[in-house]
Amino acid sequence: MSPRTSQADAPARTTYLGMPTVPPRSPYGTGNLRGDRKFPRAAHDELRNDQLRRNLGKATHTIRAKRLAVTGELPDWEALRDAGSAIKTDTMNRLPELLEQLEAKVTEAGGTVHWARDGAEANDIVTRLVQQTGSDEVIKVKSMATQEIGLNEHLAEQGIKAHETDLAELIVQLADDKPSHILVPAIHRNRDEIREIFRDRIPGVDPDLDSVPAHLAAAARAYLREKFLTTPVAVSGANFGIAETGTLSVVESEGNGRMCLTLPDTLITVMGIEKILPRFADLEVFLQLLPRSSTGERMNPYTSMWTGVTPGDGPQNFHLVLLDNGRTAALADKIGRQALNCIRCSACLNVCPVYERAGGHAYGSTYPGPIGAVLTPQLAGMDVSSDDPNSSLPYASTLCGACYDACPVKIDIPSLLVELRHQHTEAAGTTAEQLAMKAAAAVMGRPGVYRAAQKASGLGRALAGRDGRISHLPPPFNGWSDTRDTPAPPKQTFRAWLASEEGAKTMRAAAKEGREALRTTTAEEGARGRSAGAHAEDAAGSRADGDVHDEEEQ
Amino acid sequence: MTAPTTAREAILARIRDAQALAPAEEVTIPRAYRTGRTLPTDELLELLTDRLVDYKAEVHACPAADTAQVLAAVLRDHGARRIGVPPSLDPSWLTAYDGEVRRDSADVPAPELDALDGVVTASAVTCAETGTIFLDASPDQGRRALTLVPDLHVCVVDRSTVEAGVPETVARLAPTRPTTLISGPSATSDIELERVEGVHGPRTLVVVIRTDA
C-alpha cells in the first residue's frame, strides 16, 4: 500500500491504535498522473526552450486579458463565484445520493451506467463497449478524464484506433506529443510547427499548405469530416452531469463535440464522479462561470446537453462510465478535497508565473499548473519513500495567490499547496534539506563555530560558476541547493570587514554624513512650515478655475 | 466487513468512508447573483444584436410579416440553392424562396445533410447578455444533426423567446430534451490563440430576429 500523507487529522491517527471503527482510505488512482522526473529538473529543461516560452507567454497573457474583461463586466461575478463554490461543496457532501440519483435518471432515459474504481477498470469497460459495436475506430471529444486514464494508448493496444477531433488534440496526437494545457493543449506549438506536422502526418493534405491558422483549421475540417460521418462510436468526457435530471453536458468551441455527440450510433461518456451537479438550475451559475473563466468569452460557441437516448435524434446507445481513480482518496482529506471542486477552466494556469515559464509538460501529469500541483498528488499520491516526482509538485509555486483570485469556484490553491507541503514534510521524516537545516542551526548557535564556518565558506567561491552562483553544494547542503541556486560567498565576510581598518573608516565617515544630513533636514522643514499657508491658497484657486471650465463645456 | 462485490458498491463505500474520515461541513448556497431580470424590448434586442455581431454572426431584424421576404433574401445572398428544414417548420416562411427545400426526418442519413447548402430553423429560447441561442430539437428546430452538418445555419429568433441573462434563459428550458447552445459560428483559437471562425460546425450563422413575434 502507498504511504498515506494525510494522517495528521484526529480520526486517522487512531488507525495506529488499530481501532476497527476507522474506515480505510481509498487507493490512489492510476494512469497519466505522474511524471518521470521531479518538477525542478523537468522545468530546468523546459525553460531552455525559447520557442515554448514565447508561445506560452503570448498565450497566457492574451487569455488573461480576455478573462478580466468579461468577468469585469458582470456586476455579480463575486456572487456567482460564491454560489459556484457552495454548490460544489454541497455536491461533495451529498456525493453518494447524487450519484445514485444520476444513475437512476440516466437509466430511466435509456442509458447504461458503469462504475470504474480506477483507470484500468474504466479502460477495460470502454474497450469492451467498443468491441461490442464491432468497430475498430472511435472518434473522441477532448476529455481530461480519458487523458488521465490513458484510454487512447489502451485502445491502441487492443487494436482500436482513437481519433482525437479537437484541433489542438489532433495536433498533439499527430505529433506523438503530450498536451501542455487544459484548454489549449497545443499551446506550446506555433503555426509553422503545426503546418509541418499536418504536412507530414495528414494523408492527402495539400503539400503547399501554408501556416495561416484559417487554412490549417480548414485542413483539419476536411480531414475529420469523413471520420465524423462514418465512425459508429464516439468517446467523450463531460463538463457536468445533472443528478436531478440525468442530463450530461459538454462545453466546446469547434463543433467537433457536437459531431461526436450527435452522429455516431454509440456514445460512451467517461465522467469523474466529482463532475456531478445536484440540480438542472445549477447550470445557471456554471454556464456563466466556466466560459468566462476558461476562454474569456461570454459564452463558448457550442454547448450540448443530452439525457439518455432520444429516439430519432443522436446516438441510440448511450453509456456513462463513472470514474473514481483516486477521487475518493482526495475526498478523505478535509482540506485537500476542495481540489475536487475544479471545473477545469484553466484560469489558474493562465495567471500562474510558474506555469507561464515552465509550461505544462514540467508537471508530468494530465493536470498541469496550480490546480495540477494540488490535484495530482491527491489523486495519485506522493510516495515519499522513493524519489516520487509528485512529491515535488506542491513546491512548484511561489504561493503568490493569483490562482485563488482567478478560480471561479474559489479553490484556495495556496492553502492547499501549503497543506500538501506540510503533509509531505511530515511523511518524509529526515530529508537532506532537514539535515542541512539542523547543521545550520547547530553552527549558528555557537559563535566560535560560526566564525570558523564563515572562514571555511570562503572556499565556496571555488564551487561557483562564472555567474557567481552555486547550483550544486556537497552533502548535506545539497538538500538546499537541489532546488535553489546559492550566491557564491563574498571574498570577505561582513564581520571580518567591520573589524578591519577599512570598515572602521567607512563607519566613521557614515556617522559624520548622518549628522550633517540631520541638520539640513531640520532647517528645510522649518522653511516649508512657513510657506504652507500660501500653497493651500494656490490649490483652492485652481479648483475654482476647474469648476468654471466644466460649466462652459456643458 | 465483507468485501464489496461490484465497482458500484465499492465506490459508494469509499465515498462514505472518506466522508467519515473528513466529515462534511454544512453549507448553505448563497444565490445573491442576478435572477429574474427583464429589459425593455429595444434594450434587449440591442444587447442581443451587439453580442451576436461580436461573435461574427450576421443579424437581421424584421416584423413577423416580412419573414418570408427576409429569409429568401438571406438564402439568395449566400447562394443557398438547396436547403434543409425541420419537419414542422412553418411553411409560410419559405413562400418567397425559389430554391429546393428538403424536409428532414430521422431516416435521412447524416452524409446526405452534407450535400445541403444550408438549413433554416426556429429556436427555443435566447439569452441576450451572452448572445446564445438555445435549440431544443422541437419539430420546428429538428434533430441535432440537421443544424450541425450543413455549412450555413439561418436561425429565426422571436422577441417573445429572448431573455436578458443566463438564469432567466435556463429557467425556460425543458431539461430532458436534447439541447444545443449556439453562440456564433463554430470557432477555434487552438493555433497561437488566433480566433478562426468555422471549424466543424456551420461556418456561417445568420440570425433573423422577429421583433413583434
CATH number for position B179: 3.40.50.10420
Per-residue model confidence (pLDDT) at position A553: 38
**CB spacing of A96 vs B167 below 8 angstroms:** no
Q: How far is CA A530 from the centre of its chain?
A: 59
Domain contains B94? yes
What radius of gyration do chain B's Cα atoms show? 22
Burial label for B122, CB within 10 Å (0-12, 13-18, 19+), is buried
Per-residue model confidence (pLDDT) at position A36: 93
- In the stretch 462-491 of chain A, residues with CB closer than 8 A to chain B read none
Domain contains B2? no
**CB spacing of A229 vs B14 below 8 angstroms:** no
CB atoms within 10 A of CB A482: 18
Residue B134 predicted with pLDDT over 80: yes
Give me the residues paired with residue B196 across strands: B188
Give me the residues paired with residue A235 across strands: A140, A268
Q: Which residues of A fall within a CB distance of 8 Å from B166?
A: 284, 287-288
Structural domains in chain B (count): 1
% residues pLDDT > 70 (chain A): 84
Which chain B residue shows the shortest CA-CA distance from A303? B181
Domain contains B173? yes
- Residue (of A420, A265, A291) closest to A343 by Cα position: A291
Range of the domain at B145: 36-210
Q: A251 versus A465: which is more confidently predicted?
A: A251
> What's the CATH number of domain A93-329, 1.10.8.50, 3.40.50.10420, 3.30.230.10, 3.30.450.20?
3.40.50.10420
Per-residue model confidence (pLDDT) at position A2: 43
Domain contains B14? no
- In the stretch 147-206 of chain A, residues with CB closer than 8 A to chain B read 165-168, 171, 184, 186-187, 190-191, 194
A161-164, strands of its sheet edge to edge? A112-116, A317-323, A266-272, A233-236, A137-140, A161-164
Query: Is A165 in contact with A140 (CB distance < 8 Å)?
Result: yes
Q: Is residue A463 very low, low, confident or very high in pLDDT (cuts 50, 70, 90)?
A: low
* Across B129-154, average pLDDT: 97
Residue B200 predicted with pLDDT over 60: yes
**CB spacing of A302 vs B185 below 8 angstroms:** no
Q: Which of B10, B11, B17 sits opposite A23 (nearest CB)?
A: B17
The C-alpha cell that represents B4 in the structure block: 464489496
> What pTM, to 2 d.p., does this model score?
0.84
Domain contains B19? no
Q: Within 13 Å and on the Cβ side, how many CA atoms surround B92?
A: 4
What radius of gyration do chain A's Cα atoms show? 30
Mean pLDDT estimate for chain B: 95
**CB spacing of B175 vs A245 below 8 angstroms:** yes
Q: Is residue A8 very low, low, confident or very high in pLDDT (cuts 50, 70, 90)?
A: very low
Which chain B residue shows the shortest CA-CA distance from A324? B11
Residue A14 predicted with pLDDT over 50: no
Instruction: List, for residues A103-125, the tens digit of each pLDDT value.
Output: 999 999 999 999 999 999 999 99
* Cα-based distances in Å from B156 to A126, B75, B94, B152: 40, 13, 12, 13
Structural element, H or E, at residue A495: helix A494-499
Chain A nearest C-alpha distance from B212 (Å): 26
Q: A531 versus A460: which is more confidently predicted?
A: A460
